Structure 1
Amino acid sequence: MAALDLFFSFLLLLIFFFIIPTRASCPHSSCPGGPTVRFPFRLRILQLRRCGYAGFDLSCNNETLQTTLSLTNSSGNNFIVQTIDYDLQTLIVNDPDNCLPKRFLDRSFDNPPDTTPFRIQSFQMYTFLKCSPQATSFPVTARNISCLSDENHTVFAMPSREYDNWLQSKAPSPSPSPSSSGPSCAVISGVRVPARATHEWGVFGDAIEGVALTWSTPDCSLCEAIGRDCGLNRDASQIVCSDPKAKTKGLPRSAKYGIIIGVGIPGFLCILGLASYVCGRISAYGRRNRPNMDLSTSASQQPAIVVVGLDGPTIESYPKTLLGESRRLPKPNDTTCSICLGEYQPNEELRTIPECNHYFHATCVDEWLKMNATCPVCRKSPEGSALITPSSSMSSSSTSLPSP
């Protein structure tokens, strides 16, 4: 069993070093309706946590299948991620309802320093007005916000500086609260609007294309500029710049497969051999410790005949011959004991089996007859040998035979 444990330990080490890459792979991913997502971003569920940087988690919208971003200081829904520029470290986001002005009013793009890794380069103050349908005289820079307007009122937005100048130059000026009669406007709020959005207002009206968010940490701009990929090392302690064509370190894939096959097949055969050996030992141990079956029951189920050797008095009754110096034998050609294969020597005692007149060394044939009731040469049973069956008495180990 120790050898089996050692082999399995070696196999686990082999899998760890050759199958599991030394640097965990973080393949690029994306939502069906969104841009490619890679470090420092990661898609929840689809990518491992170590594949992204803290605060750069994205998600896939289950209904629209678009890529979404949640800003911790936003009180509304997640933003739709339209594009990600990894070289410039910029992403463009928009409101899922295509009403970014509403997100400006709830201050979703303010920059609390500790709640989001993203920043907006510059802002411009805008004043939002809620006016009655009769109010029509506004500066050319005022923009009608259709997604916030309805049949009862119209929402306008203009740069706060121009609003102040217009307020001072026009009479009567818009009241700070809705008037009970006549055309009137009320100030909703003065908010900071990202500079990109203010430029698009001047070009596209209120159809703002998106807001640009930038990040500075982690800084992967140099790595991206030379065509490499940013990522965290195995213990996520530092950012490394790796070659995208060499995702893992170590041996080439073909070499790894060759080693795995070369070691795996002999290893599998070793496992089979060890398993067979262990099973054999267990079976042998079980047979040794299995209780003996009742002899009478086993004999009744399968009768058998057992040949029992001769007893001492019977063996002693067989004639002995003491060889002289001439070594004359009844059969001159038989000069060798068929049991020990040794030649007969002077002064040795020989014993003859009466039934067949074969003779042997007395010591050799005595031992033989104690265990076998047949002649070692011709296999004849001497007169008086006993055949014991399972039904015979087992109290005596031998049967007394009458002297010939």
Structure 2
Amino acid sequence: MEIYHFLFLISLFIIMLYLGECQNEQCPELRCGDEGPAIRFPFRLKGMQPHRCGFPGFDVFCTHANDTVLELPISVKLYIKRIDYKSQVIQLYDQDDCLLRQLLELNLSSSHFQYKEEVNTYGYALFNCSSRQVLPEYIDPISCLSGLGYQVYALASNMGDPKLLMIITSCTRIYNDLLIPYDIILRGHDKILPLEWKEPECRHCEAKGRMCGLKNNSTTSEIKCSSKLDNTPGVGASKKIVVAGAILGSFVLLLVVFVVYRFYSNDKVEKEYQARIETFLEDYRNFKPARYMYTDIKRITNQFSEKIGEGAYGTVFKGKLSNEIHVAVKILKYSFKGNGEDFINEVGTIGRIHHVNVVRLVGFCADGYRRALVYEFLPNDSLDKFISSVDAAKNRFLGWEKLQDIALGIAKGIEYLHQGCDQRILHFDIKPHNVLLDQNFNPKISDFGLAKLCSKDQSIVSMTTARGTMGYIAPEVFSRNFGIVSYKADVYSFGMLLLEIVGGSKIFADIVEISTSKNYFPTWIYNLLIEQKEDLQVLIEDYGEAQIVKKLAIVGLWCIQWHPLDRPSMKVVIQMLEGVEDKLIVPPNPFPSTGVAKINAQMPPRRGLD
């Protein structure tokens, strides 16, 4: 039976190859709907014609509404109103009646299309003006770029009206030296953008009523003129009948084979196979991040209208996929060196991770040099906003029980990265700023730009340079004299995070008469806990809260032991955090070589610590 299946598949492949060759013998003229413009060489309908039917850069596609769309650099999509093949001019428009918005992103330097020679183009600057600012009546605002409370105006870059210059200085210049056709600025609605192409040169073919196309086996994109085969009486129709009959026959044959296969196949194996397929599709739908175009990112963020954060690697904007689903969109800064690696790390590492304590990557954008990451939106910002002594004065202290729950959640998230995935994920940048809080203040680990993957049985991680944030980086990451680099580097960073929860973020900056190095910060905690024989309870009235603080301090000191072998695994850390404080053994001084710093500083004021 297997040999017959093999012979059948070979025969089917030959038949489909033959049909494909017959179908590719000509490149017929096509349309998107009955009223759409004729599409023929040098244009090609993507997904419906082979590449040889068009010239590079002339791909078009049909929308669900049978409109014809041309994609221009960079990711600018304009609708086609008319194509004049004899004059080699294409008329384009924007479906949203805001052609100027599309022109802001248009770059024709790498395209075969250019503005027509007789089209007058000028350099314009765009200004965002408050509705209270009154401009001369002869200058109309651009309605589709304006909004509630502001108006956008396009003014010639070389304008010389002193009165107008004085008025416009109070506005915000948002674009400068945009080369835009004068008619686009002058006319209101129903704007048409005419573009022309000079290569490939097909005017002489069109003038003779013949089809233009590429020469066979040409490596230099040479053009030839051929007869319009579709115009030959009866030829096109007969070929269509043959092709339709072949396709119908193949379909019937495949249907018969499918019925026979189902009849002879084992029912149990078939059900298991279908179950695996359904499981895969469900997982794919739920966990695989979606890929967005840059135009989608602008729509999701409402043209980047609500900025919620900014860091060294990019700016974060709030957006929404629907009225119910909000997201945080990080627009990565362009860099020739680090940006690509960080982007690949972020998408490749957490693209399929789904854990309650790891932020979910909803999607990403890799559109040319534009890169963005789309995460689930977490309304309560990052942990560092709630543990600093400064913010505590603003009634943002969460309480020690909640801080203990947050610490436990972070530990479970790190333990999942180390042991719960197919490959061990080392984060290398655990810190309060990279711990986000949802509406219930449940923690989620974020920012995997520095992460590395390794097998679970791999004990050594190769690194060319140190990675992480100063103050949280384990000593072995700087120098191999302290031990090998492994998952214990994340344990060290988590320990520093715990000590910051105990003492307040950047507490070391508030302690005078010592260095600003964070190495002194754990020593100060250790002195307060052990060397000076002072229990942290003296600073907290409630005994239960004092036990929580002492437990976090002891676990944190264990995690930052100088040598990696002396630090516990995250599984043990979780057990320590879930256990009773009285059963915890106080670790040795993490930094005995520095000596015991006698610090007479008071604990900075915090909610619950006064």
Higher relative contact order (CA 8 A, sep 6+): 1
TM-score tier after normalising by the smaller chain length: 0.3 to 0.5
Q: Which structure has the bigger radius of gyration? A: 1
What's the TM-score once normalised by structure 1's chain length? 0.47
What's the TM-score once normalised by structure 2's chain length? 0.32
